[in-house]
Every structure is written in C-alpha cells, then in structure tokens.
Structure 1
Amino acid sequence: MPRLRIRVTGWPRRALVLTDTPAPDCPDCAGDGGIEHDYGDYETGEYAGTEWEPCHCWNENRRMVLLPLPRRPRWLRRHGNGRDPWGSDDYSNEPPF
C-alpha cells in the first residue's frame, strides 16, 4: 500500500506532485528508502565512493503531477541577480530632501 505525500518539484517545470514515500517500519532500510554501500579501490583499499540501492518498500518513480505552478513574470525573471527589482537594495547616505 503506497504512503503518499505532496511535494514541490522544480524539474522540468515547477509543480505540485503526489509521490510515494518509503515505509517507516521497513526492517531492511529503516524508512530511508534505500541502503548505502561504501566501496573502496581494489588496489589501494582507499575509499572510492558510495552506491545507493533502492529498497523494495518504495518506488521512487511513482509520482503524479497534481498542479503545475505558474512561472514567474518575465519582468521578475530579468532581474536574476538576486536584487530587488524595485531598486530598494540601492542605499544612499544622501538626505531624502
């Protein structure tokens, strides 16, 4: 039986999606949704990375788009430098009169 939740996704477009979650009482993954396996280099024995194996209690590809979210207006997208589009980030030590 799936355990559903609502999430916001940003790819390929922002949307609200209904997605499956791992079983919190799963004896194999303890609710994480997968098991991590560390592995090392064969010759040196040094740490080389981690592999992640999904658990059988969860299907990470099971999702359904509920509602596409609107895009930002074009005039807000132009100011992608993190500044306020109305210019209130510009400070001055001049008096207002």
Structure 2
Amino acid sequence: MRLRIQRATWPRNALILTDTPRPDCADCDGVGGTEHHYGDHDTGEYAGTDWEPCTCWNEDRRWFLLPIPRRPRWLYRHRQDPDPWAPNGYSDEPPF
C-alpha cells in the first residue's frame, strides 16, 4: 500500500489519507486503470469513456484525517484599487 495525503472538498473540506496506484504496474503503467473509449453503433461517433480500475490499488480505500476549517465571513476582505485608473496598481505607461 502506497499512501499519500490529499485534500478532499466533498462533503466538506478535509485532509484524507488515500492509497495510490503502484508506479511499476505493468497493466496500467502507474495510472490506476484503463480507459476504454466507445462510439455509437449507428453513427460511429464518440459516445463516451468507460474506466476500468486496475487491481494494483483500491480507489475506495481512504481515511479521514483532519477537517479544514472554513474562513469566517468577517475575515474576507474587499479588494480596493489604490489608483482607479490603473487596475491592480499597475500601469502600462513608461516611468518618464
């Protein structure tokens, strides 16, 4: 098992510990699975992609480590430009 820390955003922001694919896997080349593109039988056009996970890892194996707190609403600051004619305080004019 090869573990790494990731940031999850659903159902709320948190740090999770998750398994990663084996980098030297001959079946998936370390990607974790194989994509199978398929087309429509009548028109022959692209219709979607199926994902087949590899046996070298389990994508459902993850552990919750720590919730990431939300920033309080009062802490958000509104951006104020120092010069209304120059966005972000920068100008295209030469300095002379």
User: Alignment length, in residue pairs?
Assistant: 85
1:10 equivalent to 2:2? Answer: no
Aligned with 1:75: secondary structure? Answer: helix
After TM superposition, the structure 1 = structure 2 runs for residues 18-97 of structure 1, keeping only pairs within 5 Å, are: 18-76=17-75, 85-89=77-81, 91-92=83-84
- List gaps (5 residues or longer) in structure 1: 80-84
Aligned Cα root-mean-square deviation (Å): 1.7
Counterpart Cα distance in 2 of 1:50 and 1:34: 12
Cα 1:26/1:90, change in 2 over 3 Å = same
Question: How many angstroms does 1:58 deviate by?
Answer: 1.2
TM-score normalized with structure 1 length: 0.77
Counterpart Cα distance in 2 of 1:54 and 1:3: 16
Provide runs of 4+ in structure 1 moved above 6 Å: none
Counterpart Cα distance in 1 of 2:43 and 2:84: 60
Counterpart Cα distance in 1 of 2:22 and 2:54: 10
Cα 1:40/1:86, change in 2 over 3 Å = closer
Identity level (%): 65
Counterpart Cα distance in 2 of 1:63 and 1:20: 7
Question: How many angstroms does 1:90 deviate by?
Answer: 6.8
Q: Write out per-residue CA displacement over residues 46-86 of structure 1, whole angstroms, 9 at most, x where no aligned residue.
A: 2211111111111111111111111110224xx6xxxxx24
Does 31-40 or 46-55 show the bigger shift?
46-55
